[in-house]
Structure 1
Amino acid sequence: MQWRAVHWKLFIIISASFFLDGVLFSLVPATFYLVEELAQNAPIIFAANSLAFMLGAIALGRLGDSLGRRAGLILSLAIYTAGTLWFVAAFWAGGLSLALAIASTSVINFGVGGEVGPAYSALAEYLPTKRRGAALMLAANFWNIGAVIIAVASLYYAQITGDVRTAVLYTFATALALAVLVFIARYHIPESLRWLIAKGRTAEAEALARKYSVSLPPPQPPKASLKGYWGRVAVLATAFTAQLLTYNIAAYYLPYAPGFAYGYEYAPINVAVANLGASIGAFLLLPLIDKSRKWSFTGAFAGGLATATALAATHGASQEAYTAALFFNLVFSEWAWASISVLESELFPTAVRSTAVGLVTAAAWLINTGAVFLEGVLGAGAFLALLIALWAVGLADAAVWHAKGVESARRELEELA
């Protein structure tokens, strides 16, 4: 199948969605350093947000399979837009208590977590096989770009206003405006042809195929459960847990951990540099991702382990050396995320694809929630040691898949399920 206008339309809308996800997820670590009470309670807020992300992934992942990719994406956006509006209104009125901050940002993260399943499923099911991996990776990479931009915006607003309250309001208001724009675009997203066929709505699928001048996907026997696929769930959940924790620790949590050498004032710079490295990492993986998923997966964790060791070694040294190590570690973090994201989008039947992606995501975020609570107990040094250990676990998991897993590059989804 060749790229058509509908493929570009879907790619642009989902990319914009991931861009907004990066903006919204990064709002807390990129702005709370400006508010002393919130910065001091960052581990509690991060943990609540992580738990909400997990619950959203499960709930809206299943909804993406039952009601459709389009409905899942519209509902998730409505939820996190409402959460952002709630935060802005409470902060504007001067009534943002710690409890309200936790509640409103958790609503945001519930929505962001909830759209992972529908978004990955929509892309995987619509895009041509030959460049499916690259397109999935580049779309998800817009998360990192959004995170960079909102972190830079937070710094910029703080400098030009000289007022903490105004800077936080401007940052959240920017995110809210972006959410409205993405909602308008997402409303016009087409439904997945594969999902329509899996639901027995063949006539609708045929009408959409004619409308967009694309061919119908090959037939697939209906498989409405994950029976026989739990091994894949386990491998991907283990790898994603390692990648997620290492990403969050390095990019978001370390500046707020006791003993961090450069103070939590370094948080927006840390977020920006980390996500800049991740943003560039996706483009460096482009030549490989559609040639071999296995080598992409294994190479990502090997590089991540090496650069995590360098990051721990430079902590407490010059800020420039630490920042450089952080940048390169996040290059490989993006490689790992891209490899896992592509695999989880391909390796499950259409009828349960969004649910499976949600479960893989939720398992990782559940463990991430526990790791956040350790932030205030273990401190920066122990977190850096944990970073290295997690990259080692991920490398071992990738090696198992390299030896025994399925090579999914350039294969139809129906072959893989």
Structure 2
Amino acid sequence: MSHPLDEAKWGAAHWRLFAIVSASFFLDGVLFSLVPTVAYLLPELSANATLIFAVDSVAFLLGALAFGALSDRVGRRLGLVASLAIYTASSILFVALYWAGALGLAAALATTALINFGVGGETGPAFSALAELSPVRHRGKALALAANFWNIGAAAIASLSLFYSQLSSDPGTVIIWTFGTAVALAAVVLLARLHLPESPRWLAAQGRSAEARRVVAAFAGVEADPPPQLSGVGLREALGTRLFGFLVLIVVSAAQLATYNIAAYYMPYASGFPLGASSAPLIVATANAGASIGGFLLLPLIDRSRRISLAVAFAGGLLTALSFVPLAQSETPFLAALGLNMVFAEWAWASLGVLESELFPTGVRASVVGTVTAAAWVVNTALVYYEGYIDAATFMAMNSAVWAAGLAAALAWLLRGRESAGRTLEELQFK
């Protein structure tokens, strides 16, 4: 029998939760995009772009691991508040050092790494909070659409940076305004996160039944015990019993992340890229605008079948990525292909985000999301590091090869994986 949380109508409490988590992803997109968007304005950073991106990538994966485990121990809300505090403080420090004329390469590496450490820490608690409180028939749409706000945030800050560059020819002014906008948004999101309800499933796993019942009442309209949760299941045991699903998640996550980052952020800094490094804000904005549109286009499918949506995402991503090299000499056709490719990149990320939030028990859910994310960022780190040793055409061809690897894993899940759409989290964790 389904639990009231799973059968509840989508109401005001769900909208508040969705708004807070979506605002979190919006801010993540803003913060992650800051350095790729403005690096071309700083000669020392632009010359060392691949090193900075690689260090930031390592920091992101460490944040995903650390905060995934932390939020399984202390809760989803506290995990999100702690990660926000870290990247907001780091953004302020970056601006302060730049303002003081003390932002050398070492300081830039340290501050941007801390920003990415905090942003990386968001994925586990954010996905877990929304998955554990959403009704079954809306869970896929809620997760997919909330995650899509990352792209909207990235597109927004890149567009604002382009706008600021039109208002002022001084690079320093553009950088200060861009980072200042991000810090102001962080303050607003912090206020919202303080009102984020804790997951009743997590509370139940911690033995805090009275608190859990109150949250259930707020979301389901009836006071009831939360669904029973598996206890005493560690991360290693959970992964061992679901090894095929975990391995598929690792491959598709690494492929999705690498192809998204290559196309949306790293490509302008590849040697010999025809449009040049100064195209970075335009490419970030175009790519994330395409991804933002893609998130809405996926909504009719995501709650029908996770397996089909994942396979279609990687098939479409591979086909569109193959057009990058022949179209890169001309700005408009290339940007059109990039925007369409990012539609499928968003389908892949949304499908992945939903799957990794569903397939594992509550006690280790955020840790699994963090582990999958971290593993993907290991691959991303290697790819961006080697960008400094290859030309743009090879880099774009490598992007297509990674899409192909993701498609192979998605087809394996289509054939052998378990369909999670329409099933409760408890059905998936106990079987």
Interval of TM-score (by shorter of Structure 1 and Structure 2): over 0.9
The one of 269, 279, 284 equivalent to 1:256 is 269
Does 196-205 or 112-121 show the bigger shift? 196-205
The residue that corresponds to 2:350 in the other structure is 338
CA distance in 2, matches of 1:89, 1:33: 19
1:136 aligns with 2:148: no
Deviations 1:11-33 (A, max 9, x none): 00000000000000000111111
Deviation at 1:161, TM superposition (A): 1.5
Contact 1:80/1:109 (<8 A) preserved = yes
1:400 and 1:54 map into 2 onto residues whose CA distance is 26
Structure 1: how far apart are the matches of 2:367 and 2:263?
Answer: 28
Question: Matches of 1:239 and 1:211 in 2, distance apart?
Answer: 36
In the other structure, the counterpart of 1:241 is 254
1:135-181 CA-to-partner distances (Å, cap 9, x unmatched) read: 10100000000001100111111110110111101100100000011
Aligned to 2:233: 224
How many pairs are equivalent? 416
Residue aligning to 1:327: 339
Query: Does structure 1 conserve the Cα–Cα contact (< 8 Å) formed by 2:213 and 2:226?
Result: no
Q: Is the 8 A contact 2:199 2:215 kept in 1?
A: no
C-alpha separation between the residues in 1 aligned to 2:298 and 2:218? 34
Structure 2 residue 274 is matched with structure 1 residue 267: no
- In the TM superposition, what are the counterparts of 1:15-414 in structure 2 within 5 Å? 15-212=22-219, 213=221, 216-226=225-235, 227=237, 228-316=241-329, 318-414=330-426
Counterparts of 1:311 and 1:266, CA distance in 2: 15
Where in structure 1 are there 5+ consecutive unaligned residues?
A: none
Q: Letter of the aligned partner of 2:32 in structure 1?
A: F
Amino acid at match of 1:158: S
What's the offset of the Cα at 1:208? 2.4
TM-score (norm 2): 0.95
How far is 1:210 from its partner?
3.0
- In the alignment, the residues of structure 1 paired with residue 216 and residue 412 of structure 2 have an alpha-carbon distance, to the nearest angstrom, of 39
**Cα deviation per residue 1:286-321 (whole Å; 9 max; x = unaligned)?**
1100001111000000000100011222122x2111
> How far apart, CA to CA, are the structure 1 residues paired with 2:167 and 2:21?
32
CA distance in 2, matches of 1:45, 1:221: 41
Question: What's the offset of the Cα at 1:265?
Answer: 0.5
Name the TM-score, length of structure 1 as normaliser. Answer: 0.98
Aligned partner letter, 2:178: T
Amino acid at match of 1:218: P
Is the partner of 1:200 in helix, strand or coil?
coil
* Alpha-carbon shift at residue 206 of structure 1 (Å): 1.1
More off after superposition, 78-87 vs 201-210:
201-210
Cα offsets for 1:54-100 (capped at 9, x unmatched): 00000010001000001101101011111111101111111111111
Q: Is the 8 A contact 1:223 1:349 kept in 2?
A: no
Cα separation, 1, equivalents of 2:178 and 2:230: 48
User: Could you tell me how far apart the structure 2 residues matched to 1:164 and 1:391 are?
Assistant: 36
Q: Distance in 2 between matches of 1:217 and 1:272?
A: 42
Could you tell me whether the CA contact under 8 Å between 1:15 and 1:142 is conserved in 2? yes
Q: How far 1:218 sits from its partner (Å)?
A: 2.5
Q: Give, as a single letter, the amino acid of the residue that structure 2 aligns with 1:355.
A: S
Q: % of aligned pairs identical?
A: 57
Quick one: distance in 1 between partners of 2:232 and 2:415? Answer: 27
Deviations 1:160-210 (A, max 9, x none): 011011110110010000001100110110000000001111121012223
CA distance in 2, matches of 1:201, 1:217: 10
Q: CA deviation at 1:211?
A: 4.3
Q: Deviations over 1:271-300 (max 9, x none)?
A: 000000000001111110000111100000
Q: Deviations over 1:228-247 (max 9, x none)?
A: 13332211011010010000
TM-superposed CA distance for 1:327, in Å, is: 0.7
Structure 1 residues 211 and 298 mapped into 2: Cα distance closer, same or farther (>3 Å)? closer
User: Secondary structure of the residue that 2:304 maps to in structure 1?
Assistant: coil
Distance 2:202 2:298 in 1: 29
Q: Is 1:240–1:360's contact at 8 Å kept on the other side of the alignment?
A: yes
Distance between the aligned counterparts of 2:322 and 2:426, measured in 1? 40
Contact conserved, 2:32 with 2:119, CA < 8 A, in 1? yes
